[in-house]
Amino acid sequence: MSKPALYLSAASTISHQPTFGHAGFSAALVPLDAASALISPDYKAYIDAGLLRRMSKILRMSVACAKDCVVQAGIEQPDAIVVGTGLGCLQDTEKFLNTALTVEGLLPPTSFIQSTHNTMAGQISLSLGNHGYNMTHTQNTLSFEHALFDAAMLVREGDSHVLVGAADEHIDILNDIADRLAFETPVPLTSAASFFILSGTNAGNAAARLADVYTSGGAEYGQEEIDAFLDRNGMQIGDIDLVLHTGNPLSGARQNTGYLPLAGIYPTASAFALHYAVDVLAANGGVRNVLIVNALRKTNLGLTLLKAVEA
Residues 84 and 231 in one domain: no
Tens digit of each residue's pLDDT (9 = 90 or more) over 78-107: 999 999 999 988 888 888 888 888 877 777
Residues 125 and 189 in one domain: yes
Residues 51 and 105 in one domain: yes
* Residues whose CB is less than 8 angstroms from the CB of residue 118 and which lie 6 or more positions away in sequence, other chains included: 83, 134, 136
- Ramachandran class of 82: left when φ > 0, alpha when ψ lies in -120 to 50, beta otherwise: beta
Q: How confident is the model at residue 1 (pLDDT cuts 50, 70, 90)?
A: very low
Mean per-residue pLDDT, 287-304? 95
Count of alpha carbons within 13 Å of 45, Cβ hemisphere only?
A: 10
**Average pLDDT, rounded, for the chain:** 92
Backbone phi and psi for residue 290, each to the nearest 5 degrees, phi listed first? -125, 130
Q: Is 287 among the domain residues?
A: yes
Residues 69 and 122 in one domain: yes
Q: Is 294:302 a contact under the CB 8 Å cutoff?
A: yes
Tens digit of each residue's pLDDT (9 = 90 or more) over 50-84: 889 889 999 999 999 999 999 999 999 999 999 99
Q: Is 103 among the domain residues?
A: yes
Residues 149 and 185 in one domain: yes
Q: Is 287:280 a contact under the CB 8 Å cutoff?
A: yes
Range of the domain at 259: 210-307
Tens digit of each residue's pLDDT (9 = 90 or more) over 218-241: 877 788 999 999 999 999 999 999
Q: Is 72:205 a contact under the CB 8 Å cutoff?
A: yes
Backbone phi and psi for residue 256, each to the nearest 5 degrees, phi listed first? -120, 135
Residue 184 burial by Cβ neighbours in a 10 Å radius (0-12, 13-18, 19+): middle
Count of structural domains within the chain: 2
Specify the CATH number for the domain of residue 286.
3.40.47.10
- Single residue among 152, 178, 199 that ends a domain in this structure: 199
Tens digit of each residue's pLDDT (9 = 90 or more) over 250-287: 999 999 999 999 999 999 999 999 999 999 999 998 99
- Ramachandran class of 128: left when φ > 0, alpha when ψ lies in -120 to 50, beta otherwise: alpha
Query: Quick check: 2 pLDDT over 60?
Result: no
Mean per-residue pLDDT, 135-156? 97
Tens digit of each residue's pLDDT (9 = 90 or more) over 28-52: 999 999 889 999 999 999 999 888 9
